[in-house]
Amino acid sequence: MAPDNASSHTKLPVNRNVKHVVLGDLLFKTWYQSIYPDDLVSKDTDRLYVCRWCFRYSCDVDAYAQHTRACQHRTTPPGTKVYHHGGYAVWEVDGDDHKLYGQNLSLFAKLFLDHKSVFFDVASFLYYLLTFTDPNDPENYYILGFFSKEKLSWDANNLACILIFPPYQHKQLGKLLMGVSYKLSAWEKDGGLIGGPEKPLSEMGQKSYNRFWEERIARYLLLRGSEAADTENSSQQKQKPPKGSKKKHHHEVMTVQQIGLATGMLTEDVITALKGMGVAEPTTPSKKRKANQEAGDGETVMIRKSNVLEWAKAHRVALQDPVRDEGFLGRWAPRDTPEIEESGTDEDDE
Ligand SMILES: [Zn+2]
């Protein structure tokens, strides 16, 4: 894949048809060429005005102003709210129900995405919009970015394409959307599948995902480990542990596959993350391990909790997941919340 050098964007492609966009009251540079129709957007457009609620576009500032006064989505996005926590919300928009919306969003997104030829078959995609509403200004919402997902993915991809709009980048919002995409793959439930983002990833996408996966695994290992350590500590006070058992308190031996099952991550992504963190050590070969490998149980790794903790501290990882379970709504809501579900329709849609 062509590296998109996205961390700096100092070398912008010269042949961009649109040089700048105005989104609401924000003006910013584009990064790549999009596929706006030639008759509406000329080859050399300096400023394209884009509606911040529905992504309709115009080169004419008056037409744009007129539209924004009447935009049908100025108070709410289309689709269904699936997540809401702390002013941030995620809305699911079915591309089949909102074709023009999906097309306009895709055209806009392409200005900042290099590697995806993508997504103009909007009917077969779901779009998840990330919005923010200031509690002091509840009538006003902002779309900060989105991810798309193929309705039917043979590779169980939980995400096709993700973009946080440039003015809102570097605020950890990508991780929020990635976390939501894992939750919506429903890997914890019957009928859900373990998956990951569509590959190959761009250079920037790979970087972002590496960090997201590392934090996801760190949280899992540390939160899981702390429960175990608490019970161990309390029992230690009562009786001295037998010699040789001390080691067990400092590291745990797990297979890559076990970590994947617990976090909803593909084995290959678990391996990438553990390597990146530098916390996995190969276990000393033993008869048991050999038997495991022959049985196809996957690579066994040894992880020292202290190393994970050190990594988490060095990288300032908050133990609290930014995606809150209690933030999910409707059929994604935690199970103890009463909900009305249309029986059987969910699986038929997949
Ligand atoms: Zn609009």
Set 92, 150, 198, 299: catalytic member: 198
CA of 161 to the centre of ligand 1 (A): 22
Q: Which of 73, 142, 56 is nearest to 107 (CA)?
A: 56
CA of 63 to the centre of ligand 1 (A): 11
Residue 210's CATH number: 1.10.10
CA of 67 to the centre of ligand 1 (A): 6
Provide the CA 208 distance to its chain's centre, in angstroms.
9
311, part of any domain: yes
Same-domain pairing of 182 and 273: no
Strand bridging mode 18-23 / 45-50: parallel
pLDDT of the chain, 350 residues: tens digit per residue: 333 333 445 566 767 889 999 999 999 999 999 999 988 998 889 999 999 999 999 999 999 999 999 999 999 999 999 999 999 999 999 999 999 999 999 999 999 998 765 667 899 999 999 999 999 999 899 999 999 999 998 899 999 999 999 999 999 999 999 999 999 998 888 888 899 999 999 888 999 999 999 999 999 999 985 554 444 444 444 444 444 444 445 678 889 999 999 999 999 999 999 999 999 887 766 555 555 444 445 678 889 889 999 999 999 999 999 999 999 999 888 876 444 444 444 443 33
Helix-then-strand count for the chain, H and E: 10, 12
Same-domain pairing of 151 and 186: yes
Per the annotation, the verdict on 198 as an active-site residue is yes
Phi-psi map region of 188: left, alpha, beta (phi>0 left; psi -120 to 50 alpha): alpha
Q: What is the pTM of this model?
A: 0.84
Over the stretch 143-182, which tens digit does the pLDDT of each residue have?
A: 999 999 999 988 999 999 999 999 999 999 999 999 999 9
Over the stretch 82-92, which tens digit does the pLDDT of each residue have?
A: 999 999 999 99
CA of 197 to the centre of ligand 1 (A): 29
Residue 129's CATH number: 3.40.630.30
Same-domain pairing of 218 and 163: no
Q: Which residues surround ligand 1, an ion (CB under 5 A)?
A: 51, 53-54, 56, 71
Same-domain pairing of 49 and 133: yes
Burial of 209 (0-12, 13-18, 19+ CB in 10 A): buried
Buried b (16+ CB within 10 A) or exposed e, 12-31: eeeebbbeebbbeeeeeebb
Q: Are 77 and 53 in contact (CB under 8 A)?
A: yes
> What percent of the chain is helix, strand and coil (3-state, nearest 5)?
35, 20, 45
Q: Total structural domains in the chain?
A: 2
Same-domain pairing of 130 and 277: no
CA of 189 to the centre of ligand 1 (A): 37
Q: What is residue 89's three-state secondary structure? A: strand
CA of 94 to the centre of ligand 1 (A): 17
Q: Which domain holds residue 211?
A: 201-225+250-284+299-319
User: Which amino acid would we find at residue 142?
Assistant: Y
78, part of any domain: yes
CA of 224 to the centre of ligand 1 (A): 46
Same-domain pairing of 275 and 136: no
DSSP class of residue 282?
E
Same-domain pairing of 36 and 139: yes
Same-domain pairing of 266 and 174: no
Same-domain pairing of 30 and 144: yes
180, part of any domain: yes
